[in-house]
Amino acid sequence: MKKSHLLIAFALLASRVSAQSNSSTVVQAGHNNEAYVEQVGEQNTASQNQKGNLNQASILESGMSNTARQQQQGVSNTASIVMDLSNGATALQTQKGNNNLATADHDMTIGISEQRQTGNSNMATVHQQYGLATAYQEQIGNHNTASSDQAVLPGNEQISKQYQYGDYNEASITQGRFDQYALQLQNGNHNKASVNQYYDNNVSEQYQYGNYNEATVTQLYSGVNKALQVQQGNYNVATIDQDAAFNNTATQRQRGNRNQAEITQGYDNEATQTQEGNNNEARIGQGNDNEAWQRQIGNDNTAVTQQASHNSSTITQVGNGNSATVIQAIP
């Protein structure tokens, strides 16, 4: 059966509403667009606006006082919102371009998700469970991928923000249990950013400008940790491991090409790495209650700091081809 609309029409397409207090609006302009709405519960609102051809949009709302809105402009875009036994949840999806995919799954939440895609062949996914979660995704470019997975216990809040500008970038955030905050910003091409948080009150921010950079933060079974990564250039790699760790602060800043920075922390540590140049390598491993600073300016430098407990270390290298190693045991 041909499904085309040459004029804008307001209609309820493929809608099933189990309560009169629910509302659904569909606006279509173009050819062969498909819209589906199903609502179970009370005071749910759904809105779909499609302009172009071969677009698909679906909304399933179950619960009370949920809001879902989808806007599509272009060709062959796909948008899906599922709210399963949610109350007061909000999901917004905006697509401009071709062959974009956006999915938002709210499972027994009061969460908020907003997804914006401009370009072609981008993919954005949001999955929220239980308590208050907020997810924002913005992609401008082509072939970008962003995913946000949040499982928050009632009485807590998790925030996930992802911004990607360019082509073939990948961003992933996974959050679990109590309060968490993660932000990812990538401007360039072929960059990758990953954050994995589980337990309580972890904060992570990643900023990448350039091409083929990689940033990873792991905060599993951890609490009150802070991680900041900033990379400018190409082919840089930054890694922060705060696994089973508490009360740590880690900062990595790299400018140049093919630099590598790595920090691993236990309890009550502070670490900062700064590298400017090319092909530099910096590594810090900390046990408990340590402070470490590494700064390298130039090319092909190496700095290694290994600390057990209650130590402090500073390494500064300016020039090329330098190497420094500090090993500190329990005093």
Rounded to whole angstroms, the Cα distance separating 112 from 110 reads 7
Residues 6+ positions from 6 with CB-CB distance below 8 Å: 31
Residue type, 145: T
Contact 299, 278 (CB under 8 A): yes
Cβ burial of 7 (10 Å; 0-12, 13-18, 19+) is exposed
- 259 DSSP 8-state letter: -
pLDDT at 32: 97
Q: How far is CA 188 from CA 93, 222, 278, in A?
A: 23, 31, 19
- Can you read off the two tokens belonging to residue 227? 């991680």
Sorted by where each begins, the domain ranges of the chain are 191-331
Predicted confidence pLDDT, tens digits, the chain (331 residues): 333 333 333 333 334 434 459 999 999 999 999 999 999 999 999 999 999 999 999 999 999 999 999 999 999 999 999 999 999 999 999 999 999 999 999 999 999 999 999 999 999 999 999 989 999 999 999 999 999 999 999 889 999 999 999 999 999 999 999 999 999 999 999 999 999 999 899 999 999 999 999 999 999 888 899 999 999 999 999 999 999 889 999 999 999 999 999 999 999 999 999 999 999 999 999 999 999 999 999 999 999 999 999 999 999 999 999 999 999 987 6
DSSP 181-250: EEEEEEEEES-EEEEEEEEE-EEEEEEEEEES-EEEEEEEEEES-EEEEEEEEES-EEEEE-TT-BS-EE
Ramachandran region, residue 21 (left: φ > 0; alpha: ψ -120 to 50; beta: rest): alpha
The secondary structure of 15-64, three-state, reads EEECCCCCEEEEEEEEECCEEEEEEEEECCEEEEEEEEECCEEEEEEEEE
How many Cα atoms occupy the beta-carbon half-sphere of 157 within 13 Å? Answer: 3
> Widest CA span of the chain, in angstroms?
79
Rounded to whole angstroms, the Cα distance separating 220 from 177 reads 11
How many Cα atoms occupy the beta-carbon half-sphere of 164 within 13 Å? Answer: 32
Is the full-model pTM beyond 0.85? yes
pLDDT at 231: 98
pLDDT at 5: 37
Where b means 16+ CB within 10 Å and e means fewer, 96-112 reads bbbbbbbbbbbbbbbbb
Rounded to whole angstroms, the Cα distance separating 294 from 280 reads 11
pLDDT at 329: 86
Contact 244, 267 (CB under 8 A): no
How many Cα atoms occupy the beta-carbon half-sphere of 75 within 13 Å? Answer: 0
Pairing of strands 270-278, 249-257: parallel
